[in-house]
Structure 1
Amino acid sequence: MKAAVRARVLAAALPVRGSKSGASRPLVTSRSSRPSPNSLPSLVQPVYSGRNRLKRPSPACLPRSRSGSCPAKKSARLGNKRINKIPEKEETVAITVAEIEKGSSVCEGLAVGRPTQRAYQGFFEEFRVWRRATLPNPLAKEVRQEEILGFIDHFFLENRSFPDIEKGVAAIFASLPRLRRLDMPRVKRALKGYKKKRPPVSRYPLPEEVVAGVAAVLHLNHHPRNARSVLCQFYGYLRPGECRKLKVKDLVIPAGGMSKSMNNYAVIIAPFEDLQPSKTQTFDDTVIFDYPVWLGKEFQKLATGRNPQELLFDIKVAESIELFREALRVLGLDGELYQLRHGGASTDWLEKRRTPGEIKARGRWQCDSSLRRYAKAGQVQKTLNKMKSLERGFCSTAFSNLEKILNNKMNLAMPRPGMKQGRGNS
């Protein structure tokens, strides 16, 4: 049967007997009677091997046009085999060394995110404006160490924070890569003195009762997704941006089994398939929600029946910040979202739910100094002592009955009005 198929294929490829191309040729029956490959007019010429078998031709056997490219026809059939067209190479843009000396290379630009790049552009433009207004020769191309020192003093006299000047100096070095090769000890010393006299403002942690009160205020005012995102940041030590970027597929439901850790809900931060690393340039960081035990079910309610690529909480940045501040004002406090991450670590330290090593791993801190800066158990008690009895009583009741409140089985009166009503984004 196979021999008959091969014979039909060769018959279609060879000239027909009695045609204008010349004398008739017999079908291939032996090695001595094989025709020359050049005499075959088909698009893809067969290559012969032992016992007259047809093999896939090499690219050298494929006919090419005058330009040297493969024929327009994508593929041709030969027997029972399909020969695919050879893909053309993609064009790449070459970057010269001279262009890299003037600015940054492609990979250097990828090391910094777009928000940071925009911030660097703003700080560098501020440096250029200050340089034109201050220096006697602002058109000089080379930036000297003394100019950067003057820019640092300019920020200090304007009472700017240390993170601002830290980003300002980083913007200068990022915009002028040739300065990185120079050793500037006076700039390093100036930054050290700046930080000593004007240290970065530390964010105080929020107590667990206050977080429960904030979640209750948000839920009772019809902002259920914002309420659950607050709890996710507090108990998971998540940064605000990490929580907002969580997708439905990043929520891991319990797998079951003998292991205790396999019976808890978890979230995967910066999964590798998304190719978006975390702030510390890591992938697949896992946070297990083992306390409170009912919290993972609240996350699953948000994910049920939704597209895996959708955002789990699906909240806007500006709106989430404003609603959080409004909820704190209802409780007579003020603060920002980043205090939730600090509050979770400080509470676990104070309640001894986790060891310092477990807290460090859960918060994904690289060194012990970062852990000491975030975990401040004494500030938790200080915040509670500043609260009035009415607001603190509301928070205590919300903390004891938070699961019932989130499931609409219990209602509480607000300690004070002023919270914007939502539409129930559940």
Structure 2
Amino acid sequence: AMHSFAIGGSHPSSTELMAVRDAGKLSASPPRLASSTRPRPSRRASLPRASSSATTDSRGRSGTRGSTPSSSQGLPRDSTRLMPTTHRPSNLKVGGPGGAAPIKKRCPDFFAAPAPKTRAALRRALSAQTKEGRASRRMKYLDERPDRPRFEGQSLLEQEAVGPDTAKDYSQRVNEVKGFALEKSFPLGNPAEKDATLVAFANMIFANGDDVSEATKYMAAFMDANPDCYQMGSKALPRTRRTLQGHNKLAPGMTIAWELVALMALTMCTVCAAGVRSALAALAMFVTYCRPGETLKLLQEDLVEPRAAKGHYAVNLHPLTRFEMSKVSLSDETIMLDSQEVPWLGEMLVALKTHQPDQKLFNMQYDQLKKDWDQALKAVGLARNWAVLYQLRHAGPSHDMLRRFRSREEAKARGRWASDSSMRRYEAHARVAQEFDKLPDKVKTEAIQATKRLKSAIMKGLRNLDAFRHQGQRRDNRAQDGLP
């Protein structure tokens, strides 16, 4: 059966393969056929050499599709490992009479490695020392990568200009704009018509009570899907840009006072299951001026302990060793945890470590963090859209400059803003008091008290989390020992 497969005959059935396997070795072997294919990689040198006409396997590599054993060796007992994955029975096992693990466990190198899940992993997979090596890896990536254009004719590198999560968000926003245009019978032909449609959509966003940042995201998504807008550069969508300026003047982006941040963290510790993780993540965003995604991507090894007795803890963002880069293509950005409001933050973050440097520090997804944040808003008595997590990046520099903890230049460097205009857009220390005064009197009183109770609540939450860990470990140990 294997011989007929090697020379291009019909594929052997599972019954034939089992019969060949039980026979052990063939009494005689057919002569080898000349092969014109390149040799197999060295990591598979232990497999019997194949000889047949060149084909392409399920992993897209040139090679042979059969195996002909030499007369001295005969057919190996696990010869079915040479079958293409498309013809191998899924439940076929090899080995002795007692049975063995499936082929996938016995021969893991036969199966293709999973695709990289992060941008950093993709950079690592595409890197090589030589130009030829990089070209080979890039060509393989081009062949295997699924095409997901956001508009007709979009090239691969244009698709890779934004991350996968951003691309998904952009597609949803563009579909909303198109649905709005279809419902209102607005044309989307030339740039002027697109501009007029976006102006109407931006006015609807303002009427719905959304922040100006939401309108800005819709504009960015629409421009990404319409390359003809890019040809005009800064003159693209002039009416839409003017509309966003008016939105910002009537309803400037809100910031959050430190007292409300403390109340939110305290509430998450008390009303959310294992909410101490969410509380510490929110405090880390406030102290470091980090985005939510940057904070949740931190690994345990990224929290650097102080070397001096009176030194400060620090976090290392986007380590170059993991091929990570920030939004502005920077790596190894160190931020000290030297906040005067929560000087104990570094010590509390250390308690989240589990002696696994390559694991996430906060060990949670954004959806869970947002769920805890919304639950805390509801428990405090505020509307769901009163404050969002991203505003913590605004609140940190605004508070530090209001209290004169940092200068404008220090806050700009800490927030990693490249220009003064970007800094002014995020920092709004003059509005901190105004936003706090808008809170109900009961919430303001609780927020002021929360700044004094926060540390003890965090410590209590960490003790409960530690007890939960030990309970889970004991449960796992008893399960391994076969105990109830």
- TM bin (shorter chain): 0.5 to 0.7
Distance 1:134 1:210 in 2: 40
Q: Does 1:405 align with 2:405?
A: no
The answer to whether the 8 A contact 1:206-1:340 is kept is yes
Q: Does 1:309 align with 2:358?
A: yes
**Which string of whole-angstrom CA distances, capped at 9 and with x for unpartnered residues, describes residues 305-328 of structure 1?**
342222111223233223223323
- Residues 381 and 111 from structure 1, CA distance in 2 versus in 1: closer, same or farther, beyond 3 angstroms? same
For the 8 Å contact 1:268–1:284, the answer to whether it is kept is yes
Q: Percent identity?
A: 26
Comparing 268-277 and 126-135, the one that deviates more: 126-135
Q: CA deviation at 1:234?
A: 1.3
Match of 2:248 in 1: 199
Matched, 1:372 2:424: yes
Identify the match of residue 283 of structure 2 among 198, 220, 231.
Answer: 231
Whole-Å Cα distance in 2 between the matches of residues 340 and 159 of structure 1?
22
Letter in 2 for 1:281: S
Q: In structure 2, do the counterparts of structure 1 residues 425 and 234 end up closer, same or farther at CA, with 3 Å as the change threshold? A: farther
Using the TM superposition, give the Cα deviation of residue 387 of structure 1 relative to its aligned residue in structure 2, in angstroms: 4.5
CA offset at residue 185 of structure 1? 8.2
Which piece of structure 1 moves more, 145-154 or 349-358? 145-154
State the secondary structure of the residue aligned to 1:408. helix
Q: Is the 8 A contact 2:191 2:229 kept in 1?
A: no
Aligned-partner SS, 1:287? strand
1:107 and 2:157 matched: yes
Q: Matched residues in 1 for 2:364 and 2:313: separation?
A: 21
* Amino acid across the alignment from 1:147: E
The alpha carbon displacement at 1:347 in A equals 1.5
The offset of 1:284, in angstroms, is 1.9
Structure 1 match to 2:330 = 282
Tell me whether 1:353 sits opposite 2:353 in the alignment.
Answer: no
Q: Distance in 1 between matches of 2:377 and 2:152?
A: 49
Does the 8 A contact of 1:216 with 1:227 survive in 2? yes
Q: CA deviation at 1:361?
A: 0.8
- Tell me how far apart the structure 1 counterparts of residues 254 and 442 of structure 2 sit (CA, whole Å): 22
TM-score normalised to structure 1 length: 0.63
1:151 aligns with 2:229: no
Partner in structure 2 of residue 19 of structure 1: none
Aligned residues of 1:223 and 1:422 also touching (Cα < 8 A) = no
Counterpart for residue 348 of structure 2: 298
Residue 399 of structure 1: how far off its partner (Å): 1.7
> Within 2, Cα distance between the matches of 1:167 and 1:315?
25
Cα deviation, residue 265, structure 1: 0.6
In the alignment, the residues of structure 2 paired with residue 206 and residue 185 of structure 1 have an alpha-carbon distance, to the nearest angstrom, of: 31
Cα contact 1:270–1:278 (8 A) shared by 2: yes
Matched residue type, 2:38: S
CA distance in 2, matches of 1:310, 1:296: 18
Over aligned residue pairs, what C-alpha RMSD do you find? 4.1
Contact persistence 2:180–2:201 (CA under 8 A): no
Partner of 2:18: none
Correspondences of 1:166-181 after superposition (within 5 Å): 167=217, 170-171=220-221, 173-177=223-227, 179=228
- Corresponding residue SS for 2:330: coil
- Residue 324 in structure 1 maps to residue 373 in structure 2: yes
Distance, in Å, in 1 between the alignment partners of 2:435 and 2:427 is: 14
Give 2:427's aligned amino acid: A
Aligned partner letter, 1:294: W
CA–CA separation in structure 2 for the residues paired with 1:388 and 1:170 = 35
Q: Is the 8 A contact 1:103 1:175 kept in 2?
A: no
Question: Of the candidates 448, 452, 472, which is equivalent to residue 396 of structure 1?
Answer: 448
Q: Is the 8 A contact 1:230 1:340 kept in 2?
A: yes
Choose 229-238 or 317-326, whichever is displaced more. 317-326
Distance 2:215 2:283 in 1: 34
CA–CA distance in 1 between the matches of 2:449 and 2:181? 58
The aligned amino acid for 1:207 is A
Pairwise CA distance, 1:360:
0.9
Structure 2 unmatched ranges of 5 or more: 1-33, 47-132, 470-484
Amino acid at match of 1:325: D
For residues 228-281 of structure 1, what are the alpha-carbon distances to aligned partners after superposition, in whole Å with 9 as ceiling and x for unaligned?
112111112122221122111211111238xx7xx2111112222333432333
TM-aligned CA distance change 1:281 to 1:424, over 3 Å: farther
State the secondary structure of the residue aligned to 1:407: helix
**Structure 1 residue 299, shift from structure 2 partner:** 0.3
Tell me which of the two structures has the higher relative contact order, counting C-alpha pairs closer than 8 angstroms and 6 or more residues apart: 1
Paired letter, 2:421 = S
TM-score of the pair, normalised by structure 2:
0.57
1:267 aligns with 2:267: no
**What displacement does 1:349 show?**
0.8
Cα gap change, 1:327 to 1:166, in 2 (>3 Å): closer
How far residue 368 of structure 1 moved from its aligned partner, in angstroms, is 1.8
1:30 is matched with none
Instruction: Work out the CA distance in 1 between the residues paired with 2:457 and 2:369.
Output: 20
Could you say if the C-alpha distance between residues 164 and 220 of structure 1 is closer, same or farther in structure 2, counting changes exceeding 3 Å?
closer
Partners of 2:459 and 2:439 in 1: CA distance: 27
| Contact 1:251 1:267 (8 Å CA) reproduced | yes
Distance 2:330 2:344 in 1: 29
On the 8 A contact 2:195/2:238 being kept in 1, the answer is: no
Q: In 1, Cα distance between the equivalents of 2:192 and 2:321?
A: 46
Rg (Cα) greater in structure: 1
Cα gap change, 1:390/1:131 in structure 2, threshold over 3 Å: closer, same or farther?
A: closer
User: Structure 1 residue 390: deviation in Å?
Assistant: 4.8
**Residue matched to 1:412:** none
One-letter identity of the residue aligned with 2:369: S
User: Quick check: 1:145–1:184 contact (8 Å CA) kept in 2?
Assistant: no
Deviation at 1:288, TM superposition (A): 0.5
